[in-house]
Amino acid sequence: MNINGEHNDPSVIRAKLCWYVLRKFEIPAPRSNHVELYINENYFGLYINVEHIDEEFVLSRA
């Protein structure tokens, strides 16, 4: 699990939207989704969970 804080993007949507568009055009891009992060019942904010790019990712897109 890769959690991105997107601290430079107040909307927390730019990277997610980019990956979504790339996938729609059938360009290999990681899957992603928004998550609300809680640790020990303490809310830490909205983040983006991004698929790890590794050999498994490459093989699944071949």
The token pair that represents 12 in the structure block: 């927390």
> Would you say residue 61 has pLDDT above 80?
no
pTM (two decimals): 0.76
Please state the domain count of the chain. 1
Helices (H), the chain: 14-24, 55-60
- According to the model, what pLDDT value does residue 62 have? 59
pLDDT per residue over 31-45, tens digit each? 999 999 999 999 999
| CA–CA distance, 25 with 10 (Å, rounded to integer) | 26
14-36 average pLDDT score: 93
- According to the model, what pLDDT value does residue 58 have? 78
51-55 average pLDDT score: 85
The boundaries of the domain holding residue 11 are 2-60
Q: For the chain, how long is the longest CA-to-CA vector?
A: 40
Q: Is-contact 47 4, C-beta < 8 A? A: yes
